[in-house]
């Protein structure tokens, strides 16, 4: 089973049990805050850890990527333009699928069978200086990149690894914004809640995430999400998130990503996402 496939199965089972899907559910509460499916995130992270994934292997980050992509689909963005997609190939321009849909059934079936050989499971985006693999995004041939989100996870050794993570993030932001100034750029950092037991390191993480969004050509939104590592590999969103500034919360992150993306897009673009915002404010 591929690294994404197991998360695909978790997501499909989650929505099947609720009789709905991400695109059909309400996304905003009456106060204009996102209604995040943190229960789905917990299931994805737990599946990853119980399968033996670690923060070093990248499996935990893939679980986080799939959840963030589901939240963007729930916000109303094109489910085929958001990556990683819920089905293989994970990265594909939506116009290709529309073209295949216009073909006769026999030809369309043959195209779908051949497509995975030519499409990618990763998205490499050219910045001003170098190519960067983007974890979560929204893009099409017509618009170019509209959302570019980098994700990082950290389970331990905070003092040793923290500075390296932020140096990489800062350089990536400058590289991507240099070529795509209108793309909404996000950085999502998922960390073991035990970091709060090291007050100086926790304060450093908060400060660095705030600094990453201070400049116009850096990140538009940054997030620090704390999770508890429980017995048996059970991961849950931690109550310690009350210590995280509101500006770095997951709620603020998604609210800002959606707001800026709709603001920078053509007025007729992302109709469903705009309708969901309007319905919430009515």
Enumerate residues 6+ apart whose C-beta is below 8 A from 190.
60, 64, 151, 152, 153, 154, 225, 227
Give the pair of three-digit tokens for residue 202: 């926790």
Q: Nearest to residue 156, comparing CAs of 92, 229, 93?
A: 229
Give 242-282 as a DSSP string: GGS-GGGSHHHHHHHHHHHHHHHS-TTS-HHHHHHHHHHH-
Backbone angles phi and psi of 116, in degrees to 5: -60, -20
pLDDT tens digits for range 143-179? 889 999 999 999 888 877 888 889 999 999 999 999 9
DSSP 21: -
Orientation angle between helical segments 250-264 and 271-281, nearest 10 degrees? 120
Q: In the prediction, which pLDDT does 98 show?
A: 77
Q: In the prediction, which pLDDT does 121 show?
A: 59
Q: Is 235 helix (H, G, I), strand (E, B) or coil?
A: strand
Q: In the prediction, which pLDDT does 106 show?
A: 85
Specify the pTM. 0.92
Q: In the prediction, which pLDDT does 118 show?
A: 64
Q: In the prediction, which pLDDT does 55 show?
A: 62
Question: Measured between alpha carbons, how far is 218 from 237 in angstroms, rounded to an integer?
Answer: 27
Percent of the chain at pLDDT > 90 equals: 62
Q: In the prediction, which pLDDT does 270 show?
A: 95
Give the pair of three-digit tokens for residue 145: 């990149």
Residue 60 has pLDDT above 50, yes or no: yes
Averaged pLDDT, 16-41 = 92
Question: Measured between alpha carbons, how far is 5 from 87 in angstroms, rounded to an integer?
Answer: 8
Averaged pLDDT, 255-273 = 96
Question: Measured between alpha carbons, how far is 103 from 170 in angstroms, rounded to an integer?
Answer: 45
Most confident of 41-45, 113-117, 229-233: 41-45
Residue 1 has pLDDT above 80, yes or no: no
Question: Measured between alpha carbons, how far is 77 from 235 in angstroms, rounded to an integer?
Answer: 28
Helix (H) / strand (E) containing 143: none
Question: Measured between alpha carbons, how far is 244 from 238 in angstroms, rounded to an integer?
Answer: 11
Averaged pLDDT, 225-232 = 91
Question: Measured between alpha carbons, how far is 4 from 21 in angstroms, rounded to an integer?
Answer: 18
Averaged pLDDT, 222-230 = 95
Give the pair of three-digit tokens for residue 155: 């389970």
């Amino acid at each position: 089973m591929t690294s994404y496939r197991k998360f695909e199965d978790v997501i499909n089972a989650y929505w099947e049990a609720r009789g709905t899907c991400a695109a059909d559910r309400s996304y905003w509460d009456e106060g204009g805050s996102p209604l995040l499916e943190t229960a789905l995130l917990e299931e994805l992270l737990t599946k990853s850890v119980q399968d033996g994934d670690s923060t070093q292997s990248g499996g935990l980050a893939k679980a986080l990527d799939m959840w963030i992509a589901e939240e963007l689909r729930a916000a109303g963005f094109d489910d085929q333009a958001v990556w990683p997609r819920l089905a293989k190939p994970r990265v594909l321009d939506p116009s290709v699928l529309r073209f295949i849909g216009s073909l006769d059934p026999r030809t369309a079936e043959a195209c779908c069978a051949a497509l995975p050989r030519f499409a990618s499971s990763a998205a490499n985006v050219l910045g001003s200086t170098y190519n960067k693999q983007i974890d979560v995004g929204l893009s099409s041939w017509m618009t170019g990149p509209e959302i570019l989100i980098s994700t990082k996870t950290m389970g331990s050794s905070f003092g040793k690894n923290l500075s390296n993570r932020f140096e990489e993030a800062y350089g990536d932001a400058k590289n991507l914004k240099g070529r795509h100034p209108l793309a909404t750029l996000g950085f999502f950092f998922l960390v073991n809640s035990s970091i709060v037991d090291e007050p100086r390191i926790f304060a450093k993480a908060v400060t660095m995430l705030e600094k990453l969004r201070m400049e116009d050509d850096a990140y538009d939104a940054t997030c620090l999400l704390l999770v508890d590592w429980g017995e048996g590999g059970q991961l849950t969103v931690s109550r310690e998130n009350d210590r995280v500034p509101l500006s770095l919360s997951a709620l603020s992150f998604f609210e800002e990503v959606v707001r800026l993306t709709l603001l920078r897009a053509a007025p007729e673009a992302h109709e469903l996402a705009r309708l969901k915002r309007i319905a919430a404010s009515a």
